[in-house]
Every structure is written in C-alpha cells, then in structure tokens.
Amino acid sequence: EMAEKAGYPHFMLKEIHEQPKAIRDAIHGNRGIISKVAEEIAGYDRVIFVAMGTSYHAALVGKYLFQRLAKRIPIVEEASEFRYEFEDLVDDGTLVIAITQSGETADTLAAMKLAKRKGAKVLAIVNVVGSMATRIADLTLYTHAGPEIGVAATKTYTTQLTVLTMLAIELARKLGTVDPEYLGELERGLELVPDLVEDVLTHEESLRELAEELKDKRDFFYIGRGAGFPTALEGALKLKEISYIHAEGLSAGELKHGPLALLEDGVPVVAINPSGKVFDKMVSNIEEARARGAMIISLSDREELSRVSDVLIKMPEVDELLSSIVYVVPLQILAYHLAVLRGNDPDKPRNLAKSVTVE
Ligand code: G6P
C-alpha cells in the first residue's frame, strides 16, 4: 500500500497533488471528442443536470458555465429527487447530463434510467471506464482522472469541472452565443490551469499552519457567489466528510437572511472571492460577517482583500469562469490537514463509502 501511495501518507494527499496531471489528461483526453458531443447536444434547450455529493457541486458549476457561455438555463437536481419529481417533466426534447465519478451511484443510475425511459438524451460525465453509467448513457465523456482511492473526491471533481468547461465553451461556439475570440482566450486559459493548480500546491505548508490554528474550531462557514457558491459548498463538504467539523456552504447573499445570527467572535468564515462580476458584492458580505466578529479567511487574487480579512490565501489570477477549478484546491488541502490534525484517517471517513450503490 505504501508503494501505491507514492510516498504520501494518504491517498487523498496523493490525489490532491495529482490534480495538475489529471486536469491535463482531462483536456487532452477530450479534445478530439468534445466538438462531436457538443454538436449532438446543441439542439436541446431543456437541460437537466443530475448528480450526488461532490458531483452535484460539479453540476452546479456546470449550470453556471452553461448560463454564462451557452446562454442555456439548466436545472440542477439531486439524482435522488429527480426520480420522484421529474417523471412527467422529461421527454424526448430533454437533455439529461449525469455526472458521476464512479458511474455506479444508485440514485444517479436510477435517474438516468428514468430519463432514458422517457426518451430523453442522456450524456454521462464519468471517471470509471466501462461503469454502469456509461452503459446506460447515449453519450459519455470521461474525466481521465485515473483511479481515486480516497473517499473524499478531489481530482475527480476538478476534472469534472474541466470537462464541463470544455463542453460549455464548445457549445457556445456552436450556438454563437459568445464572442469566439473570448472563447479562444478561455481555452488557452484552461490550458494554463494545471500550472496554476501546481502553484497553489506549493503553498501547502502555510495551509497546514492555518489548519493548526483552526483545529479546535467547532463550526465553519464557507461563502461564495456565482461560481464561488459551489466552491463554498464543496469546501464545506470536504471539511465535514473528513474532519467531522460542522460546516456550512452558503450563497453569500443569504448570509443576512439567517446565518448571520450564528456568527460569534472567532467563528471562521471562508470567503471565496476571485476577481470578477461579484467581487465587490462579496466584499460587502465579508464586511457583514466581520462586523459580527467572525474570523475571515479570504481566497482571492486581490491583495486589497487583506484589509477586511484575518487571513488572505493569495490565489493566482484566473478568469472567473475557470476559477472554480483552482479555488477548490486550497480548501481540499485545508480539510485534509484539519482531518489529520484531529487524528482522523482522511482516506476512510467514518460512515461514508466511496460509492453509494443503494438508494
Ligand atoms: C459518495 C462519495 C462522494 C461522492 C458521491 C457521488 O457519497 O463519498 O465523494 O461525491 O458518492 O459519487 P459519484 O461516484 O456518483 O460521483
């Protein structure tokens, strides 16, 4: 087992570090096929994403990308709900995009089967080659992340986001919804994402030190807007899964509609705030939390955020449409070190399974 971990103490840490390569493989592995798949789905204006867990968060990023680039307004539904609520709402004019690392999650497979029965077109985004999801789907895109052993998804998530980005760009190109020059820029930006992730990984030691400081905290809040919102959800999920610390991911706009009541002195609020459309709005949300004594941990490329933050995790500059791939990485590392510092085995969290094959 030591050999398989390639010198890392846990599979999760190894898999976090494999992300630059995994993202490169996802890009190269899909380059030849993405245009054909985009062609096949371009005619569908009813798009429903179904997924569970971390893959559900990828679906939320997919929704954001489809909105911004392909000008589609997809629905994102937990696969476990889809079966019961969408039976009469799906037909042969519907495209269902199922996202599943394992390709074996029972709820997701059930949703896919229902969609097929109703005549919908089903596209699966899957990591495990030949898994059940690939057999049900009409079309499959692989994430090419390689085997993931740690229960908490890491490289399979960032590669799902990579594939979704490629698909949204290609759809936008086919539909003519966005300036093609900008699409080319985004494509070149995506090529550089592995290097940006590499750069983030070099800051692991400071994230471990931050984890030392945070290890006795009881509650964490993660806030974001736009594509930062799913990142907040995923950051909170990683923390819950492996450190067993209570964490909530929130849309920052919702803060003042309830969660602010929970903020006390020193409660960590992790704010995901890349440059982009909602940067200034996020600053106001951070100030709201700060005024209640929260400990603000900001992730941003903008130095000025240190004015309103206790800790600024300095991020590389990246287009906001690509930012979710890069910004989740420090959150994975933080959760990993918090788990280890609290004496947990991050590879085998209690009560959880890598793949949930019962509904
Ligand atoms: C389990 C795993 C999660 C994963 C979810 C969905 O709950 O512990 O890490 O995100 O299943 O899995 P899938 O294979 O469908 O992506």
Query: Which ipTM value was assigned to this complex?
Result: 0.98
pTM equals: 0.97
- Collect all residues with Cβ–Cβ distance below 8 Å to 99 and sequence separation of at least 6: 49, 50, 51, 55, 56, 58, 59, 62, 108, 124, 125, 160, 164
Q: Which ligand 1 atom lies nearest to the CA of residue 152?
A: 9
Q: How far is the CA of 52 from the centre of ligand 1 (A)?
A: 6
pLDDT at position 358 is: 87
Whether residue 110 has its Cβ less than 6 Å from ligand 1: no
Question: pLDDT of 202-231, one tens digit each?
Answer: 999 999 999 999 999 999 999 999 999 999
Phi and psi, residue 121, nearest 5°: -85, 135
Beta-carbon count within 10 A of 9 CB: 13
pLDDT at position 1 is: 67
Whether residue 151 has its Cβ less than 6 Å from ligand 1: yes
Scan for tokens 């899964």, then name that residue. Answer: 241
277 is catalytic: no
Structure tokens at 299: 């992730």
- pLDDT tens digits for the chain (359 residues)? 666 898 999 999 999 999 999 999 999 999 999 999 999 999 999 999 999 999 999 999 999 999 999 999 999 999 999 989 999 999 999 999 999 999 999 999 999 999 999 999 999 999 999 999 999 999 999 999 999 999 999 999 999 999 999 999 999 999 999 999 999 999 999 999 999 999 999 999 999 999 999 999 999 999 999 999 999 999 999 999 999 999 999 999 999 999 899 999 999 999 999 999 999 999 999 999 999 999 999 999 999 999 999 999 999 999 999 999 999 999 999 999 999 999 999 999 999 999 998 88
Q: How far is the CA of 252 from the centre of ligand 1 (A)?
A: 25
